[in-house]
Amino acid sequence: MINKNNQNYIFIFAFIISNILIFNSYADSIDKQVSEISKELLCPVCRGQTVAESNSDLANDFRDIIKTKLQEGQSREEILNYFISRYGDSVLSSPPAKGIRLIIWILPVAVLLFGLISLIRFLKIKSKIQERSIRPIENDKYLNDVDKELNKLD
């Protein structure tokens, strides 16, 4: 039988352990979110590196600010908008496809498709020409007349 004192100790122990577990999972989830948002931001002072990949002072500051803002309860969108309002769209690792950037996204695909369609057409026409030049001509009126004349001679 567990006496009252022991019951209290067990309760306090369980309370502490559950708090530690809750705090750890909260910290893990914040760190995970910091890492995910960091991947969506380009480090403005590093060539082609995301904030997650960079060890520059500015990238460290970005990560600290993301963490603080997450702890304040801000959403991913609010945090990204904060950085866009300071550094512009170019701070995003995948800038939104709008305005002039839309052309950059669409044009290469459009040109490639156009090129492929033209290439297929070209190959089709070429094969048709080859087919015609190889196929024996059966119902050509002139050739039939020539055959008839040759047969007469025989």
Binding residue for another protein, selected from 30, 33, 65, 93, defined by CB under 8 A: 65
Tell me the sheet residues that pair with 41. Answer: 92
Looking only at residues 33 through 52 of this chain, which bind another protein when binding is defined by CB under 8 A?
44-45
15 vs 122 by CB, closer to another protein? 122
**Least distance (Å) from another protein to the CB of residue 57?**
4
3-state class (DSSP) for residue 50:
strand
Distance linking the first and last C-alpha atoms of the chain = 127
Smaller CB distance to another protein: residue 4 or 47? 47
Q: How far is the CB of 86 from another protein (least distance, A)?
A: 4
The stretch near another protein (CB under 8 A) out of 17-25, 29-37, 113-121, 141-149 is 113-121
Distance between CA 15 and CA 94 in Å, rounded? 44
Task: Return the number of the residue (1 or 109) whose C-beta is nearest another protein.
Answer: 109
Q: How far is the CB of 94 from another protein (least distance, A)?
A: 14
> Does residue number 99 form part of the binding site for another protein (CB under 8 A)?
no
Q: Taking each helix axis from N to C terminus, what angle separates 57-71 and 76-87, rounded to the nearest 10 degrees?
A: 140
What are the residues whose beta carbons fall under 8 Å from the beta carbon of 66, sequence distance 6 or more?
Answer: 33, 34, 37, 38, 51, 79
